[in-house]
Amino acid sequence: MLIALFADIHANRQAFEACLADARDCGARRHVLLGDFVGYGGDPDWVVDRVTGLAEDGATLVLGNHDAAIGGSADGMNLEARVAIEWTRTELGKPARDFLAALPLTQSDDDRLYVHAEASHPERWTYVVGTLEAADSLSATRAHVTFCGHVHKPALYSLSSTAKMTSFTPTTDAPVPLLPGRRWLAVLGAVGQPRDGNPAAAYGLFDTDSGELTFRRVPYDIEAAAKRILEQGLPPLLAERLFVGK
């Protein structure tokens, strides 16, 4: 079975629609949504609505820090992020806010763990940016594969049976067999705000039969997404960065 994994959609309707369509064309049968549905982008209402629909159809969802900030605190976020959170709070209706507030920090499925950030203390929203954080995360679970987001740059870590960590920057569209002899942590790139220098929307496809993970990139209508951000009066920087993927 092919599972499509989406992280950091960030209210970017155009990017999310493009990824969903691509996943459907690839034959994905299940959806896993790794948090940060809102924040930064101009279409939080539409995205939460779509995500709610996917959840009703059986998708697996976890909470992201921007989702948590809607009903909680945005302390510690940078200025643009806080501005976007404050605007999103006013934009979302109560059902949407309640939906986000009810999301769990982690979900498990078979031998897979889904979480937004580093898994040992998911509520601390630690970024997995290197083998140290990856080792912390992997030590907190017995799952064969952990899928997370939050970093906005795709990466793949593994822990060998001799407790050695490896790190790897994935190549788009080159399936990687997640060997059963070691445990893996896959950091998905961002659907709605990529930061690895490639502006195309990022998501992942995991084939449970072959055990192979493929990192996909999907070009989308960046102009339209940027226009929505500006129309909503959000900081122009949030629109500009989409074009360069930084």
Partner 1 sequence: MARPLHDPGFVIDGFRLDERVHKGGMAMLWRVSKDGLDAPMLMKVPRIGEGTDPAAIVSFEMEQMILPKLNGTHVPKFFAAGDFAHQPYLVMEAIAGTSLLKRLPELPLPYDEVARLGVKIADALDDLHRQHVVHLDIKPSNIMFRPEGAAVLIDFGLSHHDQLPDLMQEEFRLPFGTAPYMSPEQLRGIRNDPRSDLFALGVLLYFFSTGERPFGESETLRGMRRRLWRDPKPPRELRPDYPPWLQEIVLRCLEVEPARRHPTAAQLAFDLSHPDEVKLTARSEKLKRDPWTTAMRRRFNTDLTAPRKAPVATQIASAPIIAVAVDFGEQGTPINAALFEVTARILATLPQARLACLNVLRSSAIALDSTLDEQGHNKKIDRLVRLKAWAAPLNLDERRLTAHVLEGTDPAAAILEFAAVNRVDHILIGARQESFRRRMLGSVSSKVATEAPCSVTVVRAPREA
Shortest distance (Å) from residue 29 CB to partner 1: 23
What DSSP assignment string belongs to 43-80? -HHHHHHHHHHHHHTT-EE---HHHHHHHS--TTS-HH
Q: Which is nearer to partner 1, 6 or 184 (CB)?
A: 184
Should residue 209 be labelled a site residue for partner 1 when binding is judged by CB under 8 A? Answer: no
- Indicate the SS3 state at residue 90: helix
Told to check if 180 binds partner 1 by CB under 8 A, we report yes
CB atoms closer than 10 angstroms to residue 130 = 12
Q: Which stretch binds partner 1 (CB under 8 A): 32-40, 86-94, 100-108, 167-175?
A: 167-175
Instruction: Give the residue among 56, 15, 34 at the shortest CA–CA distance from 226.
Output: 15
Does 246 help bind partner 1 (rule: CB under 8 A)? no
* Stretch 21-60 residues interacting with partner 1 (CB under 8 A): none
Among 57, 75, 181, 197, binds partner 1 (CB under 8 A): 181
CB of 166 to partner 1, least distance (A): 4
> Is 165 a binder of partner 1 (CB under 8 A)?
yes
Regarding 244 and contact with partner 1 (CB under 8 A), the answer is no
Stretch that binds partner 1, among 17-25, 29-37, 88-96, 172-180 (CB under 8 A): 172-180
Q: Given candidates 160, 219, 240, 244, which one binds partner 1 under the rule CB under 8 A?
A: 160
Asked if residue 129 binds partner 1 (CB under 8 A), the reply is no
Cβ atoms within 10 Å of 230's Cβ, excluding its own: 14
- 82/25 Cα distance (integer angstroms): 36
Return the closest-CA partner of residue 217 out of 196, 239, 240: 196
Q: Determine the Cα–Cα distance for residues 66 and 245; give it in Å rounded to an integer.
A: 19
In the complex with partner 1, the residue whose CB is nearer, 108 or 175, is 175
Strand ordering across the sheet containing 155-159: 106-109, 112-115, 145-148, 183-187, 155-159, 165-168
Least separation in angstroms between residue 179's CB and partner 1 is 6
Q: Is 167 in the site for partner 1 (CB under 8 A)?
A: yes
158 sits near partner 1 (criterion: CB under 8 A): yes
Residues of the shown chain interacting with partner 1 in the complex, contacts defined by CB under 8 A: 156, 158, 160-162, 164-168, 171, 174, 176-177, 179-182
